[in-house]
Amino acid sequence: MEKCKRAIRKEFNVENPMRAGLKFSVAKRAIAELKGLQVSSETIADAMLYLAESTCEFTSEWGDMDESFYTSAWNNFGAALEFMDKYSLLDNFQLRVKQCVKWASPCGYGFADSIVDSYYQYYQDNI
């Protein structure tokens, strides 16, 4: 799990954005490798949400990205929520999901609205 998180953080490096690769394919490959180790569903959900957190935090800290970045970030956020729902893990990760919504709130290209809409597909409470 730590290897997977390091790979994701390297691609979406909030601490040093000049070193960020910003490649979703690298992060998703790290998650796929983790899945191949036959770890628990909760561990996979954790990694999937970590990717969403990293992308939302990155854009919150460093400003607007291009539309394709937002589309990929939103798709990965949705995939994490769908996975968590499938394995009844939504309650375990709700606070972290809410943090993604907060990080996305100032972002452009309709990203904030898409993230909020995704949140409300799975959670009934207010953010």
Distances (CA, A) of 64 to 40, 80, 86, 102: 35, 22, 32, 15
42, amino acid identity: E
pTM for the structure as a whole: 0.93
Which tens digits make up the pLDDT trace of 70-100?
999 999 999 999 999 999 999 999 999 999 9
The answer to whether the CB of 56 falls within 8 A of the CB of 73 is yes
Residue 127 pLDDT > 80 = no
Distances (CA, A) of 49 to 18, 83: 23, 10
Q: Look up residue 44 and give its two tokens.
A: 């996979």
> Over the stretch 30-54, which tens digit does the pLDDT of each residue have?
999 999 999 999 999 999 999 999 9
Whether residue 19 has pLDDT greater than 90? no
Distance CA 105, CA 27 (A): 23
Angle (deg, nearest 10), helices 41-62 and 24-36: 160
Domain boundaries, given as residue ranges, for the chain: 2-122
Check whether 17 has a pLDDT greater than 90.
no
Residues above pLDDT 70, as percent of the chain: 100
